A and B are shown apart, each in its own frame.
Chain A
Amino acid sequence: MNLNEFVSEFNEKMTHHFDVTQTVYNAFQLCSGDMNPLHTDESFAKQKGFRERVMYGNILNGFVSYFIGECLPTKSVIIHSQDIVFKNPVYLNDNVLLEAVIDGVYESVNAIEFKFKFFNQNNKVIAKGHIQIGLL
């Protein structure tokens, strides 16, 4: 698939829902080894002003990885770079929506930049950022 075909198949916007389940939380904890009490200790999180344990924000980066690797019009892609800004906490069992739009097309190097936002089930933005991919 070439760049023009990709852009026309992508349409204006792509979205995907993800659930922040106990399994996802456990898997990320195992992968990262991060046992910071904000993510593991209910009373610590409440003391710091959160309603419960805060989920690892970088779980969202895992969802970005799935989105790029599995949801795009072609699987012949590689992530060049990504950035993310966390706006609001994610909690266990949140259902989050990833919304991505094309923000730049670079024909010269066969690359595409997306900007994305994650929303929680209350339609609140929880994170936003950019991803640059290359078509292989």
Chain B
Amino acid sequence: MDNKEILNQVQEIFRDILDEESIIITGDTTANDVEEWDSLTHIQLVVAIEKHFKIKFTSKEIVSWKNVGEMIDNINGKPK
């Protein structure tokens, strides 16, 4: 799966968790760009992404992300 396909799937997860069907996520998107993306929502997003892609992040990984693009790279780098 390439980064574009992962981004599309992540976008659907964001839309579901944030209850915002029109939200557009790009590699440059950060929590500051999305009003509803608060600390509790962040937990729900991470849990939903881990479940969807059947992967596990570490706490070190998630604090290292500077934007959605880095999260996508992290997902893509996980062993399949």
Once A106-B50, A108-B50 are accepted as A-B contacts, the answer to whether A80 and B44 lie under 8 Å apart by CB is: yes
CB neighbors of A among B31-66 (8 A):
40, 42-44, 46-47, 50-51, 56-59, 61-62
Chain A residue nearest to B50 in the complex (CB): A106
**Within the assembled complex, what's the spacing in Å between the Cα atoms of A132 and B43?**
10
Are B59's CB and A107's CB within 8 A?
A: yes
Chain A residues within an 8 Å CB radius of B58: 107-108
Chain A interface residue number, banded = 10 to 19
Chain B binding site: helix, strand, loop or mixed by DSSP?
Answer: helix
CB neighbors of A among B9-49 (8 A):
40, 42-44, 46-47
User: 21 A-B residue contacts at CB 8 Å?
Assistant: A80-B40, A80-B44, A104-B47, A104-B51, A106-B46, A106-B47, A106-B50, A106-B56, A107-B56, A107-B57, A108-B50, A108-B56, A108-B58, A108-B59, A108-B61, A109-B46, A109-B47, A109-B62, A111-B43, A111-B47, A134-B43
Chain B interface residue number, banded = 10 to 19
- Total number of A-B contacts with CB less than 8 angstroms? 35
Among B44, B59, B61, the residue within 8 A (CB) of A110 is: B59
Interface residues of A (CB under 8 A from B): 80-81, 104, 106-111, 113, 132, 134
Chain A binding site: helix, strand, loop or mixed by DSSP?
Answer: strand
**Within the assembled complex, what's the spacing in Å between the Cα atoms of A74 and B47?**
22
Chain B residue nearest to A134 in the complex (CB): B43
A108 to chain B, nearest CB (A): 4
**Within the assembled complex, what's the spacing in Å between the Cα atoms of A62 and B10?**
34
B31 to chain A, nearest CB (A): 14
Chain B residues within an 8 Å CB radius of A111: 43, 47
